[in-house]
């Protein structure tokens, strides 16, 4: 038996997985990656704007990011935003582009980043479990309203648990992949 509650639950959990992928994309792993700058916002004419909406970001070499602003007058603001962010990179400006050199990670920094990725994965597991709880609450209300029987409620909550297990497993898999990515030299 497939209920609308199950479909809504899967949609919410898919969105949670996408958010986790975004979060992992912002955790650097020793190589240059344009997603590292996704959380950096630039004060552009009084509006906090993502860098990728103001400039082209490219990766000309494995350890270099190159930012080419569409509006050259915004260069200083982009530099300032990167320097003030928690990205940990120092921008260098040659007048037409901003280069970011991504240094090799120390063992200590790798462990720190792996810990950050682990914390993110645990936070997202909590989100998944909260979504499971909400779905089970909805199912109990439907059963109380007499729309489904007690047996159907039991089957529906078992389905919710299967869905939850699938997404928790996916989070574990994404974390394992990210940790491997961070820890490889």
Q: What is the pLDDT of residues 28-66, one digit of tens each?
A: 666 777 878 888 888 888 888 888 888 888 888 888 889
* pLDDT band, residue 183 (cuts 50/70/90): confident
- Between CA 53 and CA 41 the distance in angstroms is 10
Give the distance, in angstroms, between the CA of residue 92 and the centroid of all CA atoms in the same chain: 27
Average pLDDT, the chain: 88
**Residue 27 token pair:** 């955790």
| Residues facing residue 154 across a β-bridge | none
Map residue 71 onto helix, strand or coil: coil
Backbone angles phi, psi at 14, to 5 degrees: -60, -45
Q: What is the pLDDT of residues 83-120, one digit of tens each?
A: 888 777 788 888 888 898 887 778 888 888 899 999 99
**Domains in the chain with CATH codes:** 4-28+106-184 (1.10.132.20), 34-101 (3.30.1360.40)
- Between CA 50 and CA 52 the distance in angstroms is 5
Map residue 85 onto helix, strand or coil: coil
- Any idea which residue has 């050199």 for tokens? 101
Helix (H) or strand (E) holding 98: strand 98-101
**Residue 2 token pair:** 């497939």
> 87: which residues sit within 8 A by CB, 6+ positions away?
28, 36, 37, 40
**Residue 29 token pair:** 């792993």
């Amino acid at each position: 038996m497939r209920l609308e509650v199950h479909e809504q639950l899967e949609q919410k959990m898919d969105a949670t997985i996408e958010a986790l992928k975004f979060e992992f994309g912002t955790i650097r792993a020793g190589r240059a990656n344009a997603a590292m700058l996704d959380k950096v916002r630039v004060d552009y004419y009084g509006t906090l704007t993502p860098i990728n909406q103001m400039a082209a970001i490219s990766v000309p070499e494995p350890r270099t990011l190159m930012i080419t602003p569409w509006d050259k007058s915004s260069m200083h603001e982009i530099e300032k935003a990167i320097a003030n962010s928690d990205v940990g990179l120092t921008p260098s400006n040659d007048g037409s582009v901003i280069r970011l050199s991504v240094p090799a990670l120390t063992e200590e920094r790798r462990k720190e980043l792996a810990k950050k990725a682990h914390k993110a994965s645990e936070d997202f597991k909590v989100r998944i479990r909260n979504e499971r709880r909400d779905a089970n609450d909805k199912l109990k209300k439907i059963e109380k309203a007499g729309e489904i029987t007690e047996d159907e409620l039991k089957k529906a909550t078992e389905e919710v648990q299967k869905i939850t297990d699938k997404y928790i497993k996916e989070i574990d898999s994404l974390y394992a992949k990210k940790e491997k990515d961070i820890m490889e030299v």
